[in-house]
Amino acid sequence: LESVAEKVEGGFLLNGFKRFISNGYSADMAVLFARTPVDGNSKALSAFVVEKGMKGFEVLRRLEPTASHDLVEFRLKDLKIPAQSLLGPLGEGFRVAMQTLELMRVSVGAAAVGMAHAALQEALAWAKSRVQFGKAVSEFQGVSFQLADAATETEAARALVYLAAIKKEGEAGDASIFSSMAKLFATEAAFRCIDRAVQIHGGMGVLRGSRVEQLYREIRPLRIYEGTSEIQRLVISRNLLKKTQRSKG
């Protein structure tokens, strides 16, 4: 993270560049994070609210991922914002970001469950109606077992997402690990479920415009944004190891 906010008379002066900003084209306001070196911590982050139309806040271009998504790059060039645009205490942006990520990771997990469920419904309907070698393809065990695996993984993902949502509401302080687990498992499972649905559709599954083809493109970014699957594994393993150290000490 390279954007920097410098404290100036009456507020802050922001400079930097942001890539991959969701809803950046249609939103009127944005929350952004910038380095605000404070005593002894040169890497401290702070969160700020900025508004479109402010001088120095410029949307550079729209980006086109695999599926439709309002995504932009923007530049901050000598963007002067008032002191009250600071969100939370100065230098506490990392905590603000983590709290937001805990929530967003659960919601990305929930979106993945919805997409896996949709793919399963498509696959079930297709498998029952498509006839090959004199019978519905659902009667081939190679197909019906894929449906069974997809349904099982979808329900396991759903249960983990619900658990992570409960943890986020709770007071135990374990929301971080559960939101990462939910995001990791649900997005990876949904990707597998949607891939199976495409496979069950045969050639029809890869034709542009079919529902499963659309889901196949739509699910892909979910394993990347709000932290890649690898970063979720990092969060989970660090949480586990920290807990083990604490219980030893």
User: Of 13, 151, 224, 236, which one interacts with ligand FAD (CB under 6 A)?
Assistant: 224
The CA angle 102-104-109, to the nearest 5 degrees, is: 100
Of the CA atoms within 13 Å of residue 33, those in its CB half-sphere come to 16
Contacts of 53 by beta carbon, 8 Å cutoff, 6+ apart: none
User: Of 125, 234, 240, 241, which one interacts with ligand FAD (CB under 6 A)?
Assistant: 234
Does 221 sit near ligand FAD (CB under 6 A)?
yes
Identify the helix (H) or strand (E) that includes residue 91. none
Which one, 32 or 193, has the nearer CB to ligand FAD?
Answer: 32
Which one, 11 or 227, has the nearer CB to ligand FAD?
Answer: 227
Q: Evaluate the CA torsion angle 208, 209, 215, 217 in order and state its sign.
A: positive
Which one, 207 or 234, has the nearer CB to ligand FAD?
Answer: 234
116 close to 149: Cβ distance less than 8 angstroms: no
User: Of 65, 88, 91, 114, which one interacts with ligand FAD (CB under 6 A)?
Assistant: 65
* Cα→Cα distances 88→12, 93, 108, 124, Å: 14, 7, 24, 48
User: Judged by CB under 6 A, which stretch of 112-120, 179-187, 193-201, 223-231 contacts ligand FAD?
Assistant: 223-231
Q: Cβ 86 to ligand FAD, closest distance in Å?
A: 18
- CA proximity to 186, closest of 178, 176, 175: 178
Which one, 170 or 230, has the nearer CB to ligand FAD?
Answer: 230
Identify the helix (H) or strand (E) that includes residue 4. strand 4-8
Q: Interface mask (CB under 6 A) for ligand FAD, residues 20-49, using x and -?
A: xxx---------------------------
Q: Which residues bind ligand FAD (CB under 6 A)?
A: 20-22, 65, 69, 71, 221, 224-225, 227-228, 230-231, 234
